[in-house]
Amino acid sequence: MSELEHNHPHTHQTHEAIIKRLKRADGHLRSIITMIEDGRECVDIAQQLYAVEKAVCQAKRTLIQDHIDNCLEDTVSALNNGERAPLEAFKKITKYL
C-alpha cells in the first residue's frame, strides 16, 4: 500500500456489508475447527466449509464489482459511449467471478 493510500482510507458503501460477511465467515470457520477437533462427521464439516467458501467468494465478488463500478468508472468517466463498450463488457463478465 502506498503512503498516499495509507493516509487516505479507501472505502465504499459495500465495505460495511463485506466486513459483516467476513466476520460471519470467520465465526463459521472457527466453529469448523472445533467440529474437526471434536471428531464430527466429514459430511457436516464439508457442508460448513462450503458455506464459508461461498461467503468469502461473495465478499470478493462484491469488492471487485464495487471497485469496477466506482474506481474504474471515475477513471473512464470522460469517455463517450462508444469508447465505454469494453468497460461495460468487463463489468458484465466480472459477475461470473
In a domain, 84, yes or no: yes
> What's the CATH number where 84 sits?
1.20.58.1000
Q: Which domain holds residue 42?
A: 12-94
Please tell me the distance from the alpha carbon of residue 59 to that of residue 31, in angstroms, as a whole number: 20
In a domain, 6, yes or no: no
pLDDT value of residue 5 = 47
How sure is the predictor about 73, in pLDDT bands with cuts at 50, 70 and 90? low
In a domain, 51, yes or no: yes
pLDDT value of residue 9 = 65
pLDDT tens digits, 16-61: 999 999 999 999 999 999 999 999 999 999 999 999 999 999 999 8
In a domain, 81, yes or no: yes
How sure is the predictor about 70, in pLDDT bands with cuts at 50, 70 and 90? confident
